[in-house]
């Protein structure tokens, strides 16, 4: 099946009628309206359609559709996981400043959007599970697979909620009509009675692969279960949880379904999205009729390249929204002598494409912007045509020879007092290539076509390494880290990338996750899970100008988001706010 085809196969979501299942005063499933066109059904509770195989399949497709309603590749999900960490700060200003600078209030629109979206789709998953159990038209094998997919998704959505909010409302049965009361269940209970049982069922009943690429598989359920045990282990302090995380992770690692790609850069080749390292991804497509909201990540990490001489906005270079700016800490994590990931993570050259703004002695196709990643006089490392490491020293003569004397050289620090030559929080900063999307239908299209990779094999090695570290087995933790680091090395420098058991610390593990997973929606969870958020925000949440706007604001209460005020206002039984947010 062609890559991305799951979006087309899921076009039945267009048949789903606006479902009148509500959670605590949410009066309509408005976020599904784009998909509701063909088949009109009066409501999930009053129709026999959803106990048929076609109806259940449609209901499950709707549950999948919410993966990108507010979360994967969307502004809400990315702002809530990338901002306010040690690796990224805010570029332009906006309502998301509350998340980046920890001036958040319970009335913040992004936390409300996430809360509402998660509970709508959890209820959709509940409906699939309930209706499948009611159905007499579907054989048991297929029914078990549908239920396993729904329970995998339900576990994932609850996992997002408990990591963001902590103790939240728990319901495992379909809600029909208006409910004005809710419970506040401890996250420990939600792990024990919902997330883990759902994933254990999914592991037992999902196939190793699916004909519809993008549907949940056994490997995806195992990956998620391993991560769940890791998070719960930090929460409870139970070595048993870390042991279980390791056990499940090793099943994924030893599976023949997945292998690491040999080259880190090939992960970001948009023509290579369906590859052996991807365990599970949220599907997008080049067809605007089935792509829905698509993937916005292609805009959020881009610098304002079109402000530079010789440049205009193009489909190749993208539509910059300037949201995420990497911190000096993030940019300093790689030992670039041996680790090729810095070079393969960021874009370094832009070629002139605008005849009307060319500099003297510059032509279209010449280098317009050069990001060497170092200051004048410092060494930097690039790959030659065969991918081997080449060591250079940044001099003006080197730039003149290799690029052209008219190009704009942007270095970490301004040169000669000229601030336009240094990194700038709003205009000029390193741009990662891993989210770029030249396959969009037009230059200003927001709904990106690139899949959002949620699970890949490299991360399961890092999960296992962290769990081994937590039970005191640093030898095995180092082995897990070295698998990832070996792939990251410049050819011929693999030995220099290897670490010993004595090198393994929590800081090293967090740094390795930053190197491998930069910008991939994991960092806020990494820091809150390991209880290092406050310390690291105060130390490293710096703009290139050295200012740290969050350091004076962040407090213990910020390890969780506040319950949205909208939720509290609509609840008749005095739903409690988190301590510190009243």
pLDDT tens across 100-118, in order? 999 999 999 999 999 999 9
Pairing between β-strand 367-370 and β-strand 408-409 as defined by DSSP bridges: parallel
Question: Does pLDDT of 491 surpass 50?
Answer: yes
DSSP E strands: which ranges in 17-134? 88-90
Band of pLDDT at residue 47, cut at 50, 70 and 90: low
pLDDT tens across 265-279, in order? 999 999 999 999 999
Question: Higher pLDDT residue, 222 or 10?
Answer: 222
Residue 45: count other Cβ atoms within 10 Å of its Cβ.
16
pLDDT of the residue at 35: 27
Question: Does pLDDT of 512 surpass 80?
Answer: yes
Residue 326 is inside which H or E element, if any?
strand 324-326
Question: Does pLDDT of 49 surpass 90?
Answer: no
Pairing between β-strand 324-326 and β-strand 88-90 as defined by DSSP bridges: antiparallel
Mean pLDDT of 207-229: 97
How far apart are the C-alpha atoms of 503 and 498, rounded to whole Å?
10
Q: What residue ranges do the domains of the chain occupy?
A: 297-421
Percent of the chain with pLDDT over 70: 92
pLDDT of the residue at 169: 97
Which structure tokens are listed for 117? 């979206």
The torsion of the CA quartet 353, 354, 360, 364, rounded to 10 degrees, works out to 30
pLDDT of the residue at 51: 86
Mean pLDDT of 150-168: 98
Question: Does pLDDT of 15 surpass 70?
Answer: no
Helix H, strand E, coil C: the string for 224-279 is HHHHHHHHHHHHHCCHHHHHHHHHHHHHHHHCCCCCCCCCHHHHHCHHHCCCCCEE
Mean pLDDT of 471-482: 98
Mean pLDDT of 74-91: 97
Residue in 455, 462, 522, 453 with CA at minimum distance from that of residue 245: 462
Q: 3-state class of 540 per DSSP?
A: helix
Question: Does pLDDT of 10 surpass 80?
Answer: no
How far apart are the C-alpha atoms of 310 and 318, rounded to whole Å?
16
Average pLDDT in the chain = 90
pLDDT of the residue at 302: 96
Mean pLDDT of 192-197: 98
pLDDT of the residue at 6: 37
Residue with tokens 């912007």: 369
Mean pLDDT of 190-216: 97
Mean pLDDT of 369-393: 95
Do the beta carbons of residue 567 and residue 115 sit within 8 Å?
A: yes
Helices (H), 366-406: 396-402
pLDDT of the residue at 32: 31
pTM of the model: 0.92
Residue in 478, 468, 458, 506 with CA at minimum distance from that of residue 247: 468
Helices (H), 407-564: 457-470, 474-488, 494-497, 506-517, 523-529, 533-540
Pairing between β-strand 379-383 and β-strand 389-393 as defined by DSSP bridges: antiparallel
pLDDT of the residue at 28: 28
How far apart are the C-alpha atoms of 2 and 478, rounded to whole Å?
38
First CA to last CA distance, the chain = 52
Residue 280 is inside which H or E element, if any?
strand 278-282
Question: Does pLDDT of 190 surpass 70?
Answer: yes
CA distances from 373 to 132, 337, 417, 422, 490 (A): 55, 13, 18, 10, 17
């Amino acid at each position: 099946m062609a890559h991305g085809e799951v979006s087309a196969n899921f076009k039945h979501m267009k048949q789903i009628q606006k479902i009148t299942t509500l959670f605590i005063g949410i009066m309509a499933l408005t976020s599904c309206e784009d998909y509701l066109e063909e088949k009109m059904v009066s409501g999930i509770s009053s129709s026999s359609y959803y106990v048929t195989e076609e109806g259940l399949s449609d209901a499950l497709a709707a549950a999948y559709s919410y993966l990108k309603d507010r979360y994967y590749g969307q502004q809400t999900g990315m702002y809530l996981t990338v901002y306010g960490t040690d690796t990224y700060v805010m570029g332009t200003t906006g309502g998301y400043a509350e998340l980046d600078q920890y001036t958040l209030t319970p009335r913040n629109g992004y936390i409300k959007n996430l809360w509402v979206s998660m509970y709508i789709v959890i209820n959709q998953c509940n409906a699939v599970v309930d209706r499948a159990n009611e159905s007499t038209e579907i054989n048991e094998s297929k029914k078990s697979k549908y239920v396993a997919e729904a329970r995998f998704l339900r576990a994932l959505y609850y996992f997002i909620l408990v990591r963001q909010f902590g103790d939240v409302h728990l319901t495992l049965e379909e809600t029909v009509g208006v409910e004005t009361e809710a419970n506040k269940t401890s996250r420990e209970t939600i792990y024990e009675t919902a997330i883990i049982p759902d994933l254990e069922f999914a592991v037992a009943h999902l196939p190793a692969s699916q004909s519809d690429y993008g549907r949940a598989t056994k490997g995806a359920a195992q990956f998620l279960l391993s991560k769940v045990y890791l998070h719960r282990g930090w929460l409870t302090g139970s070595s048993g949880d870390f042991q279980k995380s390791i056990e499940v992770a090793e099943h994924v690692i030893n599976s023949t379904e997945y292998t690491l790609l040999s080259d880190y850069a090939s992960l970001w080749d948009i023509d290579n999205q369906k590859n052996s390292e991807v365990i599970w991804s949220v599907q997008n497509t080049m067809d605007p009729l089935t792509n829905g909201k698509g993937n916005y990540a292609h805009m959020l990490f881009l610098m304002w390249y079109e402000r530079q001489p010789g440049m205009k906005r193009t489909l190749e270079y993208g539509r910059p929204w300037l949201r995420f700016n990497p911190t000096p800490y993030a940019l300093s994590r790689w030992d670039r002598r041996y680790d090729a990931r810095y070079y393969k993570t960021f874009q370094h050259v832009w070629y002139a494409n605008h005849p009307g703004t060319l500099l003297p002695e510059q032509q279209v196709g010449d280098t317009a912007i050069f990001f060497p990643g170092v200051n004048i006089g410092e060494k930097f490392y690039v790959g030659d045509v065969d991918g081997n490491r080449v060591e250079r020293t940044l001099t003006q003569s080197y730039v003149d020879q290799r690029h052209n004397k008219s190009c704009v050289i942007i270095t970490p620090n301004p040169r000669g007092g000229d601030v336009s030559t240094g990194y700038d929080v709003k205009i000029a900063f390193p741009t990662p290539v891993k989210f770029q999307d030249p396959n969009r239908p037009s230059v200003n299209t927001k709904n990106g076509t690139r899949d959002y990779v949620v699970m890949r094999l490299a991360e399961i090695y890092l999960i296992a390494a962290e769990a081994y570290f937590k039970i005191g087995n640093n030898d095995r933790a180092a082995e897990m880290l070295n698998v990832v680091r070996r792939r990251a090395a410049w050819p011929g420098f693999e030995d220099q990338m290897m670490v010993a058991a004595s090198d393994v610390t929590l800081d090293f593990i967090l740094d390795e996750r930053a190197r491998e997973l930069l910008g991939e929606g994991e960092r806020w969870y990494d820091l809150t899970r390991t209880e290092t958020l406050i310390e690291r925000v105060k130390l490293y949440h710096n703009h290139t100008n050295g200012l740290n706007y969050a350091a004076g604001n962040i407090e213990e209460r910020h390890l969780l988001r506040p319950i949205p005020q909208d939720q509290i206002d609509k609840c008749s039984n005095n739903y409690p706010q988190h301590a510190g947010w009243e």
